[in-house]
Structure 1
Amino acid sequence: MMMFVFVLIYLMLVLLRPQDYPQMQGFAIPILPLAMAAAAAAWVFSREKRFNAPQYILLPMFHLVLCLSLLAIGWFAGALEAFLYFLPCVVSFFLLANAVNTPGYTRTTMMVFVLCAFVMAVHGAQQASTGVGWTGQTTVEDGRIQYVGIFSDPNDLGMLFVISIPMAVYLGSRGGFLGMRRLFWFCGCLLLAYGIYLTNSRGSFLAVVAMTAVYIWIQRGAIWASMLGAGALVVLRLMPSRLDELNVQESSASGRIDAWYEGMQMFITHPVLGVGAGQFTQYHYLTAHNSIILVLAETGIVGFALWFAFVGYGFWMMYRIVRFEPEFEDEDDILDWQEARRMALVLLVAQSGFFAAAFFLSRSYVILLYLLAALVVAHHSNVLARFPALGELRLRSHIVRWGVLTMGAVAAFYVVLKVLLAMG
């Protein structure tokens, strides 16, 4: 319990970022590192430590490859810098994945994500109304809202709103308090949708469509998902937003495709360990604007294989819970499984939204990705402990599979890139 409390405090500081408010710039105490240290100490002294997911191996290995990619080009100081830069992502993943060890803790963590997103959406509404929020941050680029710290980019803020929407829907679906709880969370969903609109992030708009399509695909099938997804895209294109500018000839989209091409060339010339973590802009004036090509170009096939498996296991874990059909005789077991499946569907949809947006952004190393991954791993471990028939996933059993899938993903991206270049 104590470890979970410390981790929640750390999580709230990571998301709400009070330490990054301009009013706090003269405050000398490093709040966030101290909160992480306290949570890490609680984990060290905890009796229950879990390492029963492939991600516990894959993420430290990917961290190592980030450093090796820079050592390979002879930059020792850069390797140390990369180690320290990515370390909070690794530590945060381990802490959250271990602290959330009950279904109740999973729901509480979802509540923290969503409530923090509510606060930022209200801040954004104030920005849109007055031009400046209580943090002192102003709007950017023709009125697009932003927050502070890691959410000072409207696209990052939109990604948090995106992954929070399915969590808010789930929390509202539980009812209670004469319907007031449902009203609160569903009104919060509207607030988050308004926040996404205010960010005017094309990736976030597309992510909402992707989440809707995935949910309908799971519940109704691929045909319904395709039809309603296409309809949602038409509606979004009719809205007054930057989506109506989206085509391969538009300057922003053309710049992204050029960056993807340059990233592929970096991979071709440095196929094993890439050009080095953080070195993409040393070879091209723009960042990759794609989380896949960024990892591929900067860490080569070795780093990409590890990162791709890390991400892929997250989807696989939630999908297998959603599709698993156990046989129960006890009514309590049936209810517990139904609840576990609902949470898995929420996390599957949230991941779909995150990576739909991340496909158009360079967000391979952001902490939000690894916090969401930790919640996914924690839920899978909790379900596995309660229902062992689900079966544990072991990395050594899937090495060949991930090798084939990795090469297939690279080939598929190359084909897509060729098509986009031809269209442009």
Structure 2
Amino acid sequence: MLALPGVILLIIFIYGRPQEWDERFENLPFLYLWLGLAFMGMGLDLALGKTRLRTTPQLRWAIFTYLWCVLTLGVRNPAEFSEGFVSISVTFVLFFLIAHSPEGFKGFQKLAGTVLVMGLFVAAVAVHQGFSSWQCLAMTQTIGGSRGEAGIPDGRSCELRVDCREGPGADPDTEYLCERVGLFKTSTINGRVRWRGVLQDPNELALTSGIVLPFSFALFEQKRSFTRALLVLASLLVIATAIILTQSRGGQLVFATVLGVYFVKKYGIRGAIFGAIFAAPLMLLGGRGGGEAEESANERTEILAEGLIIYRMFPLMGAGFRQFTEHHWLTAHNAYLLALSELGPLGMFAWSAMIYLTLKISLVALKRYEHGAQFAMIRAWSMAVMAGFCGMMVGIFFLSFTYHYVLWIYFGLAGALYCAIKSVDPHFSVKLEKRDVYRLILADLGLIGAIFLLSKRG
């Protein structure tokens, strides 16, 4: 499988963002280099007969969503077409490569293992950051030549922001923040831990780290060794601590959902009790409270109402890909609303069909291979993908994740799981049937109704 090295490096690049914390990597075209390496490897795999290109259940809906994004952007805002086209194209290609490059479970496990390692990596950096010292950050030019939120530590310790502005060594022409400074030139935002790039929002970091947890469970299910048991324990501690330090209420819900789905599905009532025991400390310690939390909730309620207004302005095609902020100063903070307001009902249906089929792959596999020791691996990974993705579905209700790389990476992982199962059982099949269409329409209408009711909460 010659495509896998390029795909694995691509995943590492998406999560790791080396060009943002090391100037030596700033001008290197890593994204296109790894994309090219992956495509070249896939071409060689196909030419040499090492792999066979299988159509995943989500592919046609991914193509429709991609083309619909391109069309709506071209119609609504041609001036931004070039930049938007590159963005959505990379997102689609990322899904395509992950879903279709591996052949069999060995390839799938390498991809899932890479996602697990990178999820634990960003969580571990966040934990270190959360216990590091407070320093003054000068909000000057950052890597890439633009003014950014990270800032540059100037070496002075602080307790309050005023210490940085008025203390010894302060530059009167520079804006300062007082934040915790961690590894890889990372820093907190208002005391909340975060990573860089697409994960510089603490809420997105909490979601991304929380949903990798069941992959460590799957590895333990495959081989119950002391080392893998330690991996499970370390994953629980690191991820839970990182989510607490993000102060993300959405992250709490993701963590609880992942544990709840995994243990309830696998162990029933006993699993529910076990999951509740693990989730309880995080639910008690994490999340913001007081006036800040209330202000955030009110702001999100206002955004929900604005998103519905934007949809009513463009009821057929939507406002266009990446055009929400052209009509409101903040993004939607809800992936489902963002899909409706930017892509309209057709685009939302296609995008939500990918979500539905991603979940259905695991559910069908768990039902089909419920019994038999020879299917233990299929059950372990199907359970892991389903639990992680259920956490994703909860988390993106509070985040603008419609086109986010992490969501489409998980679309790809579910597709790779489908292909892996197909290599073992050629009769395995998952389709969007007529009854699924009805269910999906009802689910979309239910989501829109829930968003409408929440928008009226204030």
Query: What residue identity is the alignment partner of 1:72?
Result: V
Of 325, 331, 344 in structure 2, the residue corresponding to residue 287 of structure 1 is 331
Asked if the contact 2:308/2:452 (under 8 Å) is kept, the reply is: no
Is the alpha carbon distance of 1:236 and 1:134 closer, same or farther for their aligned partners in structure 2, counting shifts above 3 Å? closer
Which residue of structure 2 lines up, in the alignment, with residue 341 of structure 1?
A: 379
Of 420, 427, 430 in structure 2, the residue corresponding to residue 393 of structure 1 is 430
Q: Secondary structure at the match of 2:12?
A: helix
Is the alpha carbon distance of 1:226 and 1:171 closer, same or farther for their aligned partners in structure 2, counting shifts above 3 Å? closer
Is the alpha carbon distance of 1:201 and 1:169 closer, same or farther for their aligned partners in structure 2, counting shifts above 3 Å? same
CA distance in structure 2 between the partners assigned to 1:29 and 1:264 by the alignment: 41
Query: What residue identity is the alignment partner of 2:368?
Result: F
Tell me the TM-score normalized by structure 2.
Answer: 0.81
- Mapping 1:93-242, distance limit 5 Å: 93-130=95-132, 131-141=180-190, 143-175=191-223, 179-221=226-268, 236-239=282-285, 241-242=287-288
Asked if the contact 2:181/2:188 (under 8 Å) is kept, the reply is: yes
Shift of 1:374: 0.8
Of 290, 294, 298 in structure 2, the residue corresponding to residue 254 of structure 1 is 298
Residues 224-254 of structure 1, C-alpha deviations (whole Å, 9 max, x = no match): 788888888876553253167798xx22112
Mean Cα deviation higher: 88-97 or 404-413? 404-413
Asked if the contact 1:290/1:363 (under 8 Å) is kept, the reply is: yes
Residues 1:58 and 2:61 are matched in the alignment? yes
Query: What residue identity is the alignment partner of 2:27?
Result: A
Shift of 1:208: 1.0
Residues 183-215 of structure 1, C-alpha deviations (whole Å, 9 max, x = no match): 234223311221122222211111011112222
Which residue of structure 1 lines up, in the alignment, with residue 18 of structure 2?
A: 18
Is the alpha carbon distance of 1:234 and 1:18 closer, same or farther for their aligned partners in structure 2, counting shifts above 3 Å? closer
Asked if the contact 1:63/1:83 (under 8 Å) is kept, the reply is: no
CA distance in structure 2 between the partners assigned to 1:320 and 1:343 by the alignment: 13
Mean Cα deviation higher: 105-114 or 287-296? 105-114
CA distance in structure 1 between the partners assigned to 2:110 and 2:374 by the alignment: 17
Asked if the contact 2:13/2:31 (under 8 Å) is kept, the reply is: yes
Q: Secondary structure at the match of 1:365?
A: coil
Query: What residue identity is the alignment partner of 1:365?
Result: Y
Residues 65-114 of structure 1, C-alpha deviations (whole Å, 9 max, x = no match): 111112333x3233333221111111111111122222122222222122
Is the alpha carbon distance of 1:185 and 1:214 closer, same or farther for their aligned partners in structure 2, counting shifts above 3 Å? closer
Flag the structure with larger Rg.
2
Which residue of structure 2 lines up, in the alignment, with residue 68 of structure 1?
A: 71
Residues 118-143 of structure 1, C-alpha deviations (whole Å, 9 max, x = no match): 322232222122221221121111x2
Query: What residue identity is the alignment partner of 1:354?
Result: M
Residues 34-76 of structure 1, C-alpha deviations (whole Å, 9 max, x = no match): 1111111211232134242231211121111111112333x32
Q: Secondary structure at the match of 1:72?
A: helix
Shift of 1:319: 0.7
Q: Secondary structure at the match of 1:117?
A: helix
CA distance in structure 2 between the partners assigned to 1:41 and 1:326 by the alignment: 38
Is the alpha carbon distance of 1:417 and 1:30 closer, same or farther for their aligned partners in structure 2, counting shifts above 3 Å? closer
Is the alpha carbon distance of 1:185 and 1:229 closer, same or farther for their aligned partners in structure 2, counting shifts above 3 Å? closer
Which residue of structure 2 lines up, in the alignment, with residue 45 of structure 1?
A: 44
Query: What residue identity is the alignment partner of 1:102?
Result: G
CA distance in structure 2 between the partners assigned to 1:240 and 1:193 by the alignment: 9
Which residue of structure 2 lines up, in the alignment, with residue 8 of structure 1?
A: 8
- Matched length: 407
CA distance in structure 2 between the partners assigned to 1:189 and 1:202 by the alignment: 18
Shift of 1:260: 1.5
Asked if the contact 2:221/2:380 (under 8 Å) is kept, the reply is: no
Q: Secondary structure at the match of 1:288?
A: coil
Q: Which runs of 5+ in 2 are unaligned?
A: 133-179
Is the alpha carbon distance of 1:231 and 1:79 closer, same or farther for their aligned partners in structure 2, counting shifts above 3 Å? same
Shift of 1:28: 2.6
Mean Cα deviation higher: 353-362 or 3-12? 3-12
CA distance in structure 1 between the partners assigned to 2:295 and 2:277 by the alignment: 26
Q: Secondary structure at the match of 1:286?
A: coil
Asked if the contact 2:304/2:451 (under 8 Å) is kept, the reply is: yes
CA distance in structure 1 between the partners assigned to 2:381 and 2:286 by the alignment: 34
Identity fraction in percent = 24
Is the alpha carbon distance of 1:423 and 1:11 closer, same or farther for their aligned partners in structure 2, counting shifts above 3 Å? closer
Which residue of structure 2 lines up, in the alignment, with residue 31 of structure 1?
A: 30
Which residue of structure 1 lines up, in the alignment, with residue 416 of structure 2?
A: 378
Asked if the contact 1:171/1:182 (under 8 Å) is kept, the reply is: no
Query: What residue identity is the alignment partner of 1:44?
Result: G
Query: What residue identity is the alignment partner of 1:12?
Result: I
CA distance in structure 2 between the partners assigned to 1:312 and 1:109 by the alignment: 22
Shift of 1:161: 0.7
Asked if the contact 1:291/1:361 (under 8 Å) is kept, the reply is: yes
Residues 1:356 and 2:399 are matched in the alignment? no
Is the alpha carbon distance of 1:409 and 1:353 closer, same or farther for their aligned partners in structure 2, counting shifts above 3 Å? same
CA distance in structure 1 between the partners assigned to 2:291 and 2:423 by the alignment: 49
Asked if the contact 1:257/1:417 (under 8 Å) is kept, the reply is: no
Which residue of structure 2 lines up, in the alignment, with residue 330 of structure 1?
A: none
Query: What residue identity is the alignment partner of 1:408?
Result: L
CA distance in structure 2 between the partners assigned to 1:231 and 1:171 by the alignment: 22
Q: Which runs of 5+ in 1 are unaligned?
A: 328-333
Is the alpha carbon distance of 1:352 and 1:24 closer, same or farther for their aligned partners in structure 2, counting shifts above 3 Å? farther
Residues 360-410 of structure 1, C-alpha deviations (whole Å, 9 max, x = no match): 0111111111111111111112112312343x2345xx2x44543343234
More helix by share: 1
Of 322, 326, 330 in structure 2, the residue corresponding to residue 278 of structure 1 is 322
Which residue of structure 1 lines up, in the alignment, with residue 356 of structure 2?
A: 312
Is the alpha carbon distance of 1:418 and 1:63 closer, same or farther for their aligned partners in structure 2, counting shifts above 3 Å? closer
Q: Secondary structure at the match of 1:71?
A: helix
